[in-house]
Structure 1
Amino acid sequence: MYIFFIPFALFILFYINTLTNTLCLQKEIPEEKQPKVFRTINILITILLISSYVEVLFT
């Protein structure tokens, strides 16, 4: 299970960060607020990935 899920999770995090960067550029979010946006989105995606891993592991 680890063999498939960990690379998939890393790909998802990388792709979400790319989309977040595009969002920041498109919406012209100031440089001072961008780290907070990235941190919030990364934390939420990490929680989502961990919960989906636990769900798949125990079902």
Structure 2
Amino acid sequence: MTGNIFVFVAPVLLFIFNSLTDRLCAQREIPAEKQFQVFRTVNILLTILLISVYIENVFA
């Protein structure tokens, strides 16, 4: 049951964090060339976090 809910919540979390990252880039005036790296790093780390939490919930 927890896994099913998690599948719907994970994209919402990714959207929220991408919105926050966009605000951070705008506030800090990060150049467009660096923004791609910032977004990629945030998305990769958040995806790793979400996958590890999902696996922990499914197998615990």
Instruction: Tell me the TM-score range normalised by the shorter chain.
Output: over 0.9
Structure 1 residue 30, shift from structure 2 partner:
0.3
List runs of 5+ in structure 1 lacking aligned partners.
none
Query: Structure 1 segments of 4 or more deviating over 4 A?
Result: none
User: How many matched pairs?
Assistant: 59
Which 5+ residue runs of structure 2 have no aligned equivalent? none
* Deviation at residue 37 of structure 1 after TM alignment: 0.3
Task: State the structure with bigger RCO (CA 8 A, min sep 6), 1 or 2.
Answer: 2
TM-superposed CA distance for 1:3, in Å, is: 2.6
In structure 2, what is the equivalent of residue 38 of structure 1?
A: 39
Per the normalisation by structure 2, the TM-score is: 0.93
Q: Which has the higher helix share?
A: 2
Cα-Cα RMSD: 0.8
* Percent sequence identity over aligned pairs: 56
